[in-house]
Amino acid sequence: MSVLFPDCVLLIFCKAPIAGQVKTRLQPALSPNQAVEAHKKLTCLTLDRAFQKPLCNVQLCCTPDTNHSFFKQCATDYPLLLSTQRGADLGERMLNAFSDALPQYHHAILIGCDCPSLTVDDLQHALMALQNGSDAVIAPAEDGGYVLIGLNTPQPVLFKNMVWGNEKVMEESRHRAKKSSISFYELATQWDVDTIEDWTRYLHR
């Protein structure tokens, strides 16, 4: 497949859709099985948007491994590669994903699969920012985290010893980037689906 950014890769982090292990904060408003279906729906939305334009190669970075039938179906339905996340926490898994990808590509962006507001144009904007010389690109989230990060080289300082899943992640990332002289390009603020209120917002968007 011919792509617009052949020296770039999009890494999409995704959990296996196992009841009781995904979208647990949507429960008990949703049952465990309904939360699984919500996770699948958001993942397919993310993949649809990733392939709206032929931007770059795409990897679905799976956890705990690539064996779940849902992942295999994604690889059948979309022209992507499957890989397995490696690491003890989110920061280690993201750093490892960048460390694996960047020897093969000049630029890499990483997203999750639960951000309905992120568009294919946002992805293209991120890739262009990296190609134009920014060391890093990031899309802040309304909850104080972020939904996209892109790099030209692995940057351990952005991932190691970070407390994830709180409203200070974006602020701390800015601080670390400034302290380490990492040029940081910020995209527009986005929102993701963590709570039942977010899920309702998605359904009525």
Q: In the predicted model, is pLDDT for residue 64 greater than 80? A: yes
Compute CA distances 34 → 113, 129, 168, 194, 203, whole Å.
Answer: 17, 38, 30, 14, 14
Q: In the predicted model, is pLDDT for residue 63 greater than 90? A: yes
Q: Which pTM does this prediction carry?
A: 0.97
- The pLDDT tens digits of the residues spanning 136-157 come to 999 999 999 999 999 999 999 9
- The pLDDT tens digits of the residues spanning 26-50 come to 999 999 999 999 999 999 999 999 9
Q: Give, to the nearest 10 degrees, the angle between helix 32-50 and helix 120-131.
A: 60
- The percentage of residues in the chain with a pLDDT greater than 90, rounded to a whole number, is 99
pLDDT at 75: 98
Instruction: State the chain's mean pLDDT as an integer.
Output: 97
CATH architecture observed for domain 8-203: Alpha-Beta Complex (3.90)
Cβ atoms of residues 106 and 7 within 8 Å: yes
Mean pLDDT, rounded, for 69-84: 98
Structural domain boundaries of the chain?
Answer: 8-203
pLDDT at 205: 84
